[in-house]
Amino acid sequence: MKLISGGVCAAKGFLAAGIHCGIRKNHDKKDLALVSCAVPAAAAAVYTTNLVKGAPLTVTKNHLADGVARAVIVNSGNANTCNADGIEIAEKMCALTAEALGIAPEDVLVASTGVIGQRLDLTPIEAGLPKLADALSPQGNGDAAAAIMTTDTVAKEAAVEFTLGGKTCRLGGMAKGSGMIHPNMATMLVFITTDAAVSPPMLQKALSSDVSETFNMVSVDGDTSTNDMVTLMASGLAGNPCITEEGEDFSEFMKALNTVTMALCRSIAGDGEGATKLLECRVTGAPDREIARTVAKSVICSSLVKAAMFGSDANWGRVLCAIGYSGAAVDVTKIGVAFRSAKGEIAVCEAGAGVDFSEEKAKEILLEKEIDILVSLNDGETEATAWGCDLTYDYVKINGDYRT
């Protein structure tokens, strides 16, 4: 398995494009992305658990009922959520896309991201779609990744090459992250493509199982979005024997998927709104996975831990505090905590109590851009990892007046 470039265009059969159509006022910011597949692709998706759901999710869910899709259309700048006629607008976006591509509207998936509660004007989308369809290319992945960005500062892409049944396969994706990131049984906007042949049920199984270890373990600000969605489309053009059940090929496919989603998770967390640091909390020695996950996520979500990491302050009491209120049944007197980065590792707490450590060394470690918070529960063999970012002045600045 090797990392390659190409994002959503890495896999055979997929083209992408991204343009500025006019949903956003800033002409330098692309706001409409399209990914298309040369053949009907097996497709799967997971969605936010927020009861307030964006209209595009309802439409995508309906169009995915047959497990097949040909294209994904995505706009940024407006979430098309909490509007009286959101569903009609999302359906119309699919119809316009289908018309431009000469495919059926039911084979188009749709997603939107941006401000909630403002009507999405179809005029710029209708005008832009022919241009967008014309721009589709095997090198369009970067433009598409740029077009789905909101407050993201960098485009988020990842792709891998792997082998199934002697055939070279590829899997790649793009993500939009940054704010309102606290996935729960679903995630932010992520679009993944592969040329591996996988049946729709196995594709859904792979995706649902993967997100619980990856996107559901990311939190930027504790706010679960209304528009979270991950889609996975498989063209089958790699020519491998179609995966229709669990086994060696499925495991290999899962590994490829996990490599890409993990990379996207780290990109999303590290580029969280206002973030200066990527935080990874790795919990080991847990009695079961649920406890490991709960503890890791509680630490990564703590505003106080996040602010301490921004200040490069080895305030491990806040880590212990976040473990204590996580709701997980842990034995506090067994817990160990250490901080790690490229500059080294330092133990700060053992058996639930502080140990002497060099504040100078701790500062040096915590001044790095990627920090691991290592928690040993010393009460079992299971582990879990969660990703997040520090809490900074810029998070407040970005969110103090997002709409204007």
Residues that bind its own copies (CB under 8 A): 49-53, 79, 81-84, 115-119, 179-180, 182, 184, 221-226, 301-304, 307-308, 310-313, 315-318, 320-325, 329-330, 332, 349, 352-354, 391-393, 395-404
Closer by beta carbon to its own copies, 82 or else 135: 82
Residue with tokens 């491998």: 240
Helix (H, G, I), strand (E, B) or coil at 370: strand
Alpha helices in 220-344 (DSSP H): 248-270, 289-301, 303-310, 316-324
Helix (H, G, I), strand (E, B) or coil at 1: coil
**What's the min distance (Å) between Cβ of 79 and its own copies?**
7
**What's the min distance (Å) between Cβ of 319 and its own copies?**
9
Residue closest to 202 by CA, chosen among 252, 166, 263:
252
HSE (CB half, 13 Å, CA atoms) of 78?
Answer: 21
Closer by beta carbon to its own copies, 37 or else 116: 116
Listed in sequence order, the residues at least 6 apart from 145 whose beta carbon sits closer than 8 Å to its beta carbon are 7, 8, 18, 33, 155, 156, 157, 174, 175
Closer by beta carbon to its own copies, 235 or else 312: 312
**What's the min distance (Å) between Cβ of 322 and its own copies?**
7
Closer by beta carbon to its own copies, 39 or else 52: 52
Active site residue 187: yes
**What's the min distance (Å) between Cβ of 393 and its own copies?**
5
**What's the min distance (Å) between Cβ of 274 and its own copies?**
9
Catalytic residue among 113, 187, 194, 294: 187
d(CA 303, CA 392) in angstroms, rounded, equals 10
Residue closest to 7 by CA, chosen among 141, 140, 137:
141
Task: Return the DSSP state at 297.
Answer: H
**What's the min distance (Å) between Cβ of 279 and its own copies?**
14
Q: Which helix (H) or strand (E) holds 172?
A: strand 167-176
Alpha helices in 27-117 (DSSP H): 55-63, 86-101
Closer by beta carbon to its own copies, 9 or else 275: 275
CA angle in degrees (0–180, nearest 5) for 392-395-397: 110
Closer by beta carbon to its own copies, 135 or else 307: 307
Q: Which residues are catalytic?
A: 187
